[in-house]
Amino acid sequence: MPTWDPTTYLQFADQRGRPFVDLLARVGADQPQQVVDLGCGPGQLTATLGDRWPTAQVTGVDASPAMIDQAARHRTSRLDFVLADLRDWRPAAPVDVLLSNATLQWVPEHRALLPRLVEVVAPGGWLAFQVPGNFAEPSHRLLHELAADARFAAATAAVERPASAEPADYLDDLTALGCTVEVWETTYLHVLTGPDPVFRWISGTGARSVLQALADDRRAEFEAAYKIVLREAYPPRPYGTVLPYRRIFAVAQRPSTGSPQPTA
């Protein structure tokens, strides 16, 4: 897992926040008491959950100390933040709404976690997550092609790549656990401005593990080469640079009675 820089990540806070809002819109919880955001990042989106559900106790969970330090600025009597790896995290009591926004793709074999995530949701409660589905796009393809170059391959060979499944896979997984499920995908056309905007976007997320694997001199060389190919793949237009970004959404409601069934 890469280390995270909240300042870099928040450069595109509005664009990164829109999928969270779209995911939340499909969660039908009325008056949940316990709401958890797995992978809460810098916490500004988690803080909005208290506005959506004024009687809920909201908890943000993240494995990054830097992100939790940033998120702690939003703490209130009903909003807390916890430093924990979501693979190890367990709630003290069943959760009425369990959210995860653009986080599960960083967990290898994250589909295997879904039975446990459903299990910690209270009967009648909700599990909702969103993951990027753009790993075949030029931004990522060019990143990994360059990382495999002889100049960089020794340092980057062991870097784990984020990945997601297809929408139908999540639909199969969650319905097999007895949930009522809605799955969809959306491709956002983000209009970015400023110098090398696609590089600045991906350097805050998908490229961080590759960049951090490189020594300082090699990183500067890599960044210069990567910016060139990104400019070619995403040429500026009169109104800005367009970054198509596919997102995959899943919202599952656990049955009011009974336990999730193991997958075959």
Number of separate domains in the chain: 1
pLDDT-derived band at 7, boundaries 50, 70, 90 = low
Interval 63-116: pLDDT, tens: 999 999 999 999 999 999 999 999 999 999 999 999 999 999 999 999 999 999
What pLDDT does 207 receive? Answer: 87
Asked if residue 188 is part of any domain, the answer here is yes
The residue with tokens 């939340």 is 24
Q: Is 1 a residue whose pLDDT tops 60?
A: no
Q: Can you say whether the dihedral through the CA atoms of 192, 197, 202, 203 is positive or negative?
A: negative
Interval 208-224: pLDDT, tens: 889 999 999 999 999 99
Asked if residue 181 is part of any domain, the answer here is yes
Asked if residue 261 is part of any domain, the answer here is no
Beta bridge partners, 253, equal 126, 180
Interval 134-144: pLDDT, tens: 999 999 999 99
CATH code of 193's domain: 3.40.50.150
Asked if residue 67 is part of any domain, the answer here is yes
SS3 144: helix
Q: Is 10 a residue whose pLDDT tops 60?
A: no
Asked if residue 221 is part of any domain, the answer here is yes
Asked if residue 75 is part of any domain, the answer here is yes
What pLDDT does 264 receive? Answer: 36
Name the residue range of residue 68's domain. Answer: 6-253
Between CA 145 and CA 75 the distance in angstroms is: 42
CA proximity to 29, closest of 68, 58, 64: 58
What mean pLDDT is reported for the chain?
Answer: 92
Q: Is 15 a residue whose pLDDT tops 90?
A: no
Question: Which of 200-204, 224-228, 257-261 has maximum average pLDDT?
Answer: 224-228
Between CA 144 and CA 173 the distance in angstroms is: 29
Interval 173-208: pLDDT, tens: 999 999 999 999 999 999 999 999 999 999 888 888
What pLDDT does 258 receive? Answer: 55
Neighbours of 19 (CB within 10 A): 21
Average pLDDT over residues 245-264: 78
Asked if residue 68 is part of any domain, the answer here is yes
Interval 115-163: pLDDT, tens: 999 999 999 999 999 999 999 999 999 999 999 999 999 999 999 889 9
Asked if residue 1 is part of any domain, the answer here is no
What pLDDT does 263 receive? Answer: 41
